[in-house]
């Protein structure tokens, strides 16, 4: 596996995006709906591991919630997984609903495996409105907490996630 390449975007409406991509020697999940679901389900344990259990994944009425210490406030709430699969691509996407770290609902986090000129694994956040990022029209420095803390935690979780998928695939 190549080291994940990271790209960050900040839109004028206050939304952010992030993409991590890594090249693989072979697929880590089958190209099927089950494989798409496995991509999504494999991410959440890495959230707990990377945060040393401070953030825990809990089932929610319409999806899942990331809660501080398990029973604390919901930091992020996600909808049920939306799955896609064909012979060359599998995707698991979770809509971002709300939570203490969300300024307004919108966007998603998705996990994708694509077979085209090799295999690529992707973790992508699109259209996310984080509470800690700079608001539209505000000075850029007001988003320092998001840029220096929350986005870096997401990158670290992504690296662990890619590594865990790769390790499972080689067993």
The dotted CATH code for 5-169 is 3.30.530
In this predicted model, what pLDDT tens digit does every residue of 42-53 receive, in sequence order? 999 999 999 999
The pTM (predicted TM-score) of the whole model is 0.91
What number is the average pLDDT over the span 19-33? 93
Enumerate residues 6+ apart whose C-beta is below 8 A from 32: 85, 90
**Where are the domains positioned within the chain?**
5-169
Round to whole Å and give the CA distance between 113 and 95.
18
Percent of the chain with pLDDT over 90: 61
Helical packing angle, 33-50 and 151-169, nearest 10°: 130
Q: Can you tell me which residue has the tokens 């953030």?
A: 55
Q: What is the pLDDT of residue 142?
A: 67
CA distance 7 to 36: 23
List pLDDT tens digits, range 48-85: 999 999 999 999 888 999 999 988 899 999 999 999 99
């Amino acid at each position: 596996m190549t080291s994940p390449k990271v790209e960050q975007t900040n839109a004028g409406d206050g939304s952010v995006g992030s993409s991590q991509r890594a090249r693989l020697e072979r697929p880590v999940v089958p190209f099927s709906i089950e494989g798409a679901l496995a991509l999504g389900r494999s991410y959440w344990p890495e959230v707990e591991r990377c945060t040393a259990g401070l953030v825990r994944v809990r089932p929610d009425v319409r999806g899942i919630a990331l809660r501080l210490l398990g029973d604390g406030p919901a930091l992020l709430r996600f909808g049920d997984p939306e799955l896609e699969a064909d012979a060359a691509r599998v995707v698991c996407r979770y809509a971002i609903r709300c939570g203490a770290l969300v300024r307004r609902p919108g966007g998603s986090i998705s996990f994708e495996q694509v077979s085209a000129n090799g295999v690529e694994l992707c973790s992508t956040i699109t259209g996310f409105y984080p509470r800690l990022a700079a608001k539209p029209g505000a000075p850029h420095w007001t988003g320092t907490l998001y840029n220096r803390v929350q986005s870096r935690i997401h990158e670290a979780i992504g690296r662990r996630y890619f590594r865990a998928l790769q390790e499972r695939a080689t067993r």
